[in-house]
Amino acid sequence: MQYKIHLSPPHMSGREMKYVQQAFDTNWIAPVGPNIDAFEEGLCRYTGSRHALAVSSGTAAIHLALLALGIGKGDIVLCQSLTFVATANPIMYVGATPVFIDSEPVTWNMCPNALEDAILHYAHLGQKPKAVIVVHLYGMPAMLDETVYLCKKHEVPLIEDAAEALGSEYRGRKAGTFGDIGVLSFNGNKIITTSGGGAMLSDHAHYIEKARFLATQAREPVGHYEHREIGYSYGMSNVCAGIGRGQLEVIDMRVRQRRANFFTYQNALSRIESIHFQTGNADMSSNRWLSALQIKREHLSPEDILMALASEGIECRRTWKPMHCQPIYKTLPHFGGSVSESLFERGICLPSGSDLTYARLADIISKLAAVIRNKHRLQ
């Protein structure tokens, strides 16, 4: 399908090439160099985190976070079910068991009640979970007061998957800085990109130091190549970090643009009774990486809408299929109800790129409303 309006394309600022050219001019092409140092420092300044580690992907950052926390074979990790599979897969990489937690209907993120049920269940069995991974879905912060409280109360480390949430805030504080470790993604479709890449955030230097060691093949600090642990090649290239430096300079503008997209959709479409947007509460400021909604109308499925808009050259996407419903994970434990399943069954994400013009937004709105009206007339 050749789309004329994409879901979330990269948006270059023009500032990136300065840093990329510096990398070429100085021959800093390898996964070390001044762009990486500056990018990590910039992430710390922007998020308020004390420490940052730039890596090859958000998935790598989650993997390193689990390793830094000492999680391994036989351990239990409680993981939000409504998310992209990359949140859960690293749990399997380390030999631990993911246990999936359902969503609550306001933010669409991890339900604190279901989380507490799971913690108490495994504690009663003498298998206290070794970590919780909460996700800020489509940029919407999770119920962090309750989640942080439960993790501290039961002494379970918290990993924040903020891959989609750079620039989002909870009570004026940046998402990704509430847990023991936060994770970001700079994939090509994210709010800013390094082409591919990710980062790990933490206020705890020892977690970052451990992750940095493992991300560089776990090479011991001696004069020859010596390895006492299994390591990984997870470093970000200095070239990609240069792209990130230029992108980070316009992050505030990108957040404003994505949020403006959402409010344009909301203002125009909320009058349609069957449309319900992902909301949040007054303490939350989502970057609105993707504008997500549910279509609650009988005989009108997300696939109907996706196909109709695709025929007009407009790319939309289904909401994530919950992990506990995925073929590879459906035999694993799940706590909570079926909120995430209903969000998948009725949810779609609209084009949300920061380069969308008002004319294109109006075109999307007009065509989506027409699909809903026409389908309604046919019933």
- 178 Cβ partners below 8 Å, 6+ apart? 144, 148, 158, 160, 170
Q: Looking at 41-45, 164-168, 313-317, 374-378, which range is the least confident one? A: 374-378
User: Looking at the domain assignment, is residue 295 inside a domain?
Assistant: yes
- 36 Cβ partners below 8 Å, 6+ apart? 54, 235, 236, 238, 241
**Domain boundary pick from 248, 273, 306:** 248
Higher local confidence (pLDDT), 3 or 10:
10
The pLDDT mean for the chain works out to 96
Higher local confidence (pLDDT), 273 or 248:
248
Are 139 and 287 within one domain? no
User: Looking at the domain assignment, is residue 193 inside a domain?
Assistant: yes
Are 160 and 274 within one domain? no
Are 120 and 213 within one domain? yes
* pTM of the predicted protein model: 0.96
Residue 314 has pLDDT above 80, yes or no: yes
pLDDT at 145: 98
- Residue written as tokens 């504008």? 291
Residue 366: count other Cβ atoms within 10 Å of its Cβ.
12
Confidence of residue 373 (pLDDT cuts 50, 70, 90): confident
Are 33 and 97 within one domain? yes
Instruction: Read off the pLDDT of each residue in 136-153 and give the average, rounded to a whole number.
Output: 98
Are 177 and 33 within one domain? yes
Are 289 and 354 within one domain? yes
User: Looking at the domain assignment, is residue 2 inside a domain?
Assistant: no
Distance set, CA 139 to CA 168, 169, 295 (Å): 6, 9, 20
Confidence of residue 70 (pLDDT cuts 50, 70, 90): very high
User: Looking at the domain assignment, is residue 141 inside a domain?
Assistant: yes
Instruction: Read off the pLDDT of each residue in 180-198 and give the average, rounded to a whole number.
Output: 97
Residue 256 has pLDDT above 90, yes or no: yes
Confidence of residue 375 (pLDDT cuts 50, 70, 90): low
- Asked if 108 contacts 140 with a C-beta cutoff of 8 angstroms, the reply is yes
User: Looking at the domain assignment, is residue 32 inside a domain?
Assistant: yes
Are 68 and 215 within one domain? yes
**Domain boundary pick from 248, 280, 306:** 248
Instruction: Read off the pLDDT of each residue in 296-311 and give the average, rounded to a whole number.
Output: 90
Q: What digits encode the pLDDT tens for the residues 319-329?
A: 999 999 999 99
Residue 138: count other Cβ atoms within 10 Å of its Cβ.
25
User: Looking at the domain assignment, is residue 331 inside a domain?
Assistant: yes
Confidence of residue 378 (pLDDT cuts 50, 70, 90): very low
Residue 379 has pLDDT above 80, yes or no: no
- Asked if 146 contacts 112 with a C-beta cutoff of 8 angstroms, the reply is yes
Instruction: Read off the pLDDT of each residue in 247-273 and give the average, rounded to a whole number.
Output: 96
3-class DSSP state of 127: coil
Are 329 and 230 within one domain? no
CATH number of the structural domain spanning residue 70: 3.40.640.10
Instruction: Read off the pLDDT of each residue in 35-59 and give the average, rounded to a whole number.
Output: 98
User: Looking at the domain assignment, is residue 10 inside a domain?
Assistant: no
Domain that holds residue 338: 252-378
Residue 246: count other Cβ atoms within 10 Å of its Cβ.
21
pLDDT at 376: 47
Are 266 and 244 within one domain? no
Are 279 and 328 within one domain? yes
User: For the chain, how many structural domains are there in total?
Assistant: 2
User: Looking at the domain assignment, is residue 3 inside a domain?
Assistant: no
pLDDT at 296: 87
Are 28 and 102 within one domain? yes
Instruction: Read off the pLDDT of each residue in 235-243 and give the average, rounded to a whole number.
Output: 97
- Asked if 379 contacts 299 with a C-beta cutoff of 8 angstroms, the reply is yes
Higher local confidence (pLDDT), 372 or 202:
202
Are 225 and 367 within one domain? no
Residue 67: count other Cβ atoms within 10 Å of its Cβ.
24
CATH number of the structural domain spanning residue 298: 3.90.1150.10
Confidence of residue 19 (pLDDT cuts 50, 70, 90): very high
**Domain boundary pick from 204, 233, 248:** 248
